[in-house]
Structure 1
Amino acid sequence: MYDITVADICCMLSGRMGTEQMFHVLRIPWCCSCALDSWFSTNLFYITLAQATQYTAPKQSETEMASGKAFNQFLVLPVLLMNCLVLLGHCEPQNTEEGDDLLTAACKHTLHFQVCISSLGSVPGSKKSHPKELAEIAINVSTKYAKETLSYVYELKSSSANNDSYNNNSNIYVSRCLSDCADEYSEAIENLQDSAKALGNGEYEEVDTLVSAAMSDAETCEDGFKDLLSDDDNDSTFPLTDHNRYFSELCSNALAITKLLVY
């Protein structure tokens, strides 16, 4: 069940393994309250013993050094591993109410909880996903909706050119806005696709920058319509207002979940 190697444990002890990677290797749920500092304190004797086998006898022969490493691997490290597995058995959720799944716990950190639950909850396995997986799902959901919105923009442009669904003045402005929005959403899709790559590389600040840029693209789409309207057309309704708002909420949730990986 726990596919942990001696090398993994050595990386943990030496500090070369980050917290997120450590949680992944140990299969520790991200919302656990069990402090790793407590674990290291409890096993300080074994950690010291493991280090002592390497440094207390600098003039050892190669045979003696090999013997010391064998002792380190087959006696000390297994004890640490067993204690770590016991820790997992007593691990309790953190910052979640009793019965919360991982998705609900993550969505509580967003500004748009219901949107988070409904949009991510429809993805199979999301309720048991690690925060990084949830962040990936959130970005993918945002990208999918951006593509759907772009297709809708093209449909509106086509129908606007073929009929008089808007009054004469508004039709001119809306058509111009739709062309601008098509460019904005195309750029938003590129930003989100790049953010997915950055997430995979652990570049969380870059993810923040790119997803924020995608949100700005939707805002520019909406603002462009307001700027192009003349004083006589203030009562006109832009057909993408609801799409822009929902897309911004999806991106906002993706940002909030990504921040869980940093703090």
Structure 2
Amino acid sequence: MRSHHPPSLFLLISLPLFFSFFTLQPTTSSATLIRDTCRQCSKTDPNLDYEFCTNSLESSPYSRRYSSDLHQLGLLSFNLTRHNVTSTRNFIKHLLKNNKEKKLDPYVKACLNDCLELYTEALRSIKDAEKDYKAKEYDDANIALSSVNDASTTCEDGFNEKEKVVSPLTKRNRYTFQLTVISLSIMNMLT
């Protein structure tokens, strides 16, 4: 009689990872669409870095599903922007919550509170913009999305108004700005 050996733990862990790697990678046609779109977007807007654009869109686990055409790629960029805005908002809340331990400078705390308000409103705006985008109401989506872009800039500017104050949100604000520019650029390509 033949005995059954359970599959090794290595195989149980490595096979799903192996298959997920290939299913999450963008296909050649979607990668080409992403690169061509990012190239066009970065040419028309000097504020957008081509590498940031391609890395953001290609690294998303949804890039394969949402990059069959330009409109779908736009939805992917909206999704990335919404996730970034949500993450930044949660990060600001975390910084403010831990204020008791770190004793934030009162000016920095005031800036963080302003940024929290800006990002809370930006979250509503990105949801509205995404809804308008899906309905192909590009003018309304543009207005709502532009306010998200303004939120990241206004947040960062608040920290820069006082000398020797370092923003803990510079990188996150820059990412929000760039992701919003990607969405706006794709939308402009569709109109």
Q: TM-score, normalised by structure 1?
A: 0.55
Equivalents in 1 of 2:184, 2:84: separation in Å? 16
2:152 matches 1:214: no
Q: CA deviation at 1:218?
A: 1.1
1:225 alignment partner in structure 2 = 159
4+ residue runs over 3 A deviation = none
Q: CA deviation at 1:100?
A: 6.5
Task: Say which of 137, 157, 168 aligns to 1:203.
Answer: 137
Q: Deviations over 1:86-135 (max 9, x none)?
A: xxxxxxxxxxxx99711111111223211111111123315842111111
Task: Say which of 50, 64, 73 aligns to 1:113.
Answer: 50
Q: CA deviation at 1:199?
A: 0.7
Amino acid at match of 1:162: E
Q: CA 1:198–1:235 in 2, change beyond 3 Å: closer, same or farther?
A: same
Contact 2:53 2:182 in 1 (8 A): yes
2:94 matches 1:160: no
Q: CA deviation at 1:160?
A: 2.2
Q: TM-score, normalised by structure 2?
A: 0.75
Equivalents in 1 of 2:166, 2:106: separation in Å? 13
Amino acid at match of 2:188: K
Instruction: List gaps (5 residues or longer) in structure 2.
Output: 1-28, 42-47
Amino acid at match of 1:251: T
State the aligned residue count.
155
Tell me the SS of whatever aligns to 2:164. coil
Contact 2:122 2:148 in 1 (8 A): yes
Task: Say which of 157, 160, 173 aligns to 1:244.
Answer: 173
Task: Say which of 79, 98, 102 aligns to 2:33.
Answer: 102
Which aligned pairs between 1:144-155 and structure 2 lie closer than 5 A? 144-155=83-94
Amino acid at match of 1:179: N
Equivalents in 2 of 1:207, 1:224: separation in Å? 26
Amino acid at match of 1:253: I
Contact 1:112 1:253 in 2 (8 A): no
Q: CA deviation at 1:163?
A: 2.2
Q: CA deviation at 1:226?
A: 2.5
Which aligned pairs between 1:119-130 and structure 2 lie closer than 5 A? 119-123=56-60, 124=62, 125=64, 128-130=67-69
Q: Which has the higher helix share?
A: 2
Instruction: List gaps (5 residues or longer) in structure 1.
Output: 1-97
Contact 1:181 1:221 in 2 (8 A): yes
